[in-house]
A and B are shown apart, each in its own frame.
Chain A
Amino acid sequence: MSVVTLTINDKLVSAQADKSLLRAIKDQGIEIPTLCHLEGLSERGGCRLCMVEMQGSPRLLASCVTPVQEGMVITTHSERLTNYRRMIVELLLAERNHICCGCVMNGNCELQSVAAKLGVDHVRYDYLCPDLPMDASHERYVLDHNRCILCSRCNRVCDEVEGAHTLDTAGRGIDSRVITGMNQPWGTSRSCTGCGKCVQVCPTGALFKKGATASEMVKQHDFLLWILDGRDKKIWRWS
């Protein structure tokens, strides 16, 4: 595989040509906020938090969906970028009813942690306070739309890794909702294998194990790489 050289934050680095810019940035140990990206799933480019500046380009690039190119000059952190990232997180917080204190993911939530790292201490936009139901019809898991940020990790893991494609998204714009089956209660879905991958990849408390109480969920994503390495490369991790 050929290698390209590019500049990230004034440092000349090299990266494999088929890698994403986000990968190259992360390989440099640079922390960059992401929500829809998850190692092992296809890239979506939806949350827009990983946007970076490229010299000579008037547009910002979503690094997760931008392949590295020879000679790119990239800035990952600037006042503009931090400001935009903060605004996006505020928009997400205002969009649904993210009440942290009773949330199963309080303390382990990726949205919460991104917000904290960006120093989001208040939201400048109207809380939309949508009246959203919870779907607790599944035997083992609960879907709480109030905490969903529509990152679609659940959609993707269900489709790409488990292969069931039980989860999808319906509606558009602000009315987009994660749905199960053909928008039927989750518990009635016959395609759902109950594998729980969606729950594990969900960055917030939108998907959680039934019966979990506040701060009780800790999610782990490593399984994704174990499964994929085993499936694709026949590398089995026994640990």
Chain B
Amino acid sequence: MADRRRMILIIAYGNSLRRDDGAGLMLAEILERIWKERNLKVHRESVHQLTPELAELMAGDAISVVIFVDTRVIPPGSDSLRIEASRLASPEDFSPGMGHHMGPLTLMAYARYLYGKTPDAWLVTVPGIDFDHGEGFSDATAGALSKVGDFLEAMPRNWPLVESSPGP
């Protein structure tokens, strides 16, 4: 059973024509490549923005973990220049004040309440400062992207495929 469910779904969003805004898309490609090299099953969706129908994909039988990849806005001069990952809480306990836009949590809720699935999910972000028109990244973002190896190193072994709970 474990084998069948071993697919990692990467959902990356951003605009590759707005400089650092596209860094998440790039990071997703890097992660996909690394994981494929490790013979993991990966499916990547790179989109301009999150839309509700992605929830159906997330609820797919084969998916064991969903990795959202995004750019994190940091103020210029900030020193939080690393790629960061945070586990997304299951949708029951997220804050009620959330708006109407589609964030990863909204999609989690969609997947849970519409399709009855709650895959493990992580939000991985790469810092960004420059959102001007154009391709390419700012130094800070390029620097962060060059350290994907360090980032993966710091995560638990076999991440993101850690068994969440023994479960039935």
Contact = CB atoms under 8 A, between A and B. Distances in A.
Contacts of A122: 26, 137, 141-142, 145-146
Interface in B130-161: 134-137, 139, 141-143, 145-146
Contacts of A98: 135
A119 interface: yes
Contacts of A121: 26, 29-30, 33, 145
A99 B146 contact: no
B26 A101 contact: no
Given A121-B26, A122-B142, A124-B146, A99 B33 contact: no
B135 A101 contact: yes
Interface string A100-129: 110000000000000000010111101100
Nearest to B144: A122
A101 B142 contact: no
Nearest to A121: B30
Contact of A99 (B29, B134, B142, B143): B134
B17 interface: yes
B17 A101 contact: yes
B134 A123 contact: no
A123 B23 CA distance: 12
Nearest to B33: A119
B17 to A, nearest CB: 6
Taking chain B's interface residues, is the majority helix, strand, or loop, or is none over half, making it mixed? Answer: helix
Interface residues of A, number: 13
- Sorting the interface of chain B by its residue count into under 10, 10 to 19, 20 to 34 or 35 or more gives 10 to 19
Nearest to A102: B17
Interface in A114-150: 119, 121-124, 126-127
Contacts of B145: 121-122
Most chain A CB inside 10 Å of its own CB: which residue of B16, B135, B139? B135
A124 B135 contact: no
Contacts of B139: 126
Nearest to B141: A122
B135 to A, nearest CB: 5
A57 B23 CA distance: 41
B16 to A, nearest CB: 6
A107 to B, nearest CB: 14
B136 A123 contact: yes
Contact of A100 (B135, B141, B146): B135
Contact of A124 (B16, B29, B142): B142
B164 to A, nearest CB: 29
Interface in B14-56: 16-17, 26, 29-30, 33
A124 B146 CA distance: 8
Contacts of A127: 136
Interface string A37-79: 0000000000000000000000000000000000000000000
Interface of A: 93-94, 98-101, 119, 121-124, 126-127
The 5 closest A-B pairs by CB, nearest first: A122-B145, A122-B142, A99-B135, A121-B30, A127-B136
Given A98-B135, A101-B135, 5 more contacts: A119-B30, A121-B29, A122-B137, A123-B136, A124-B146
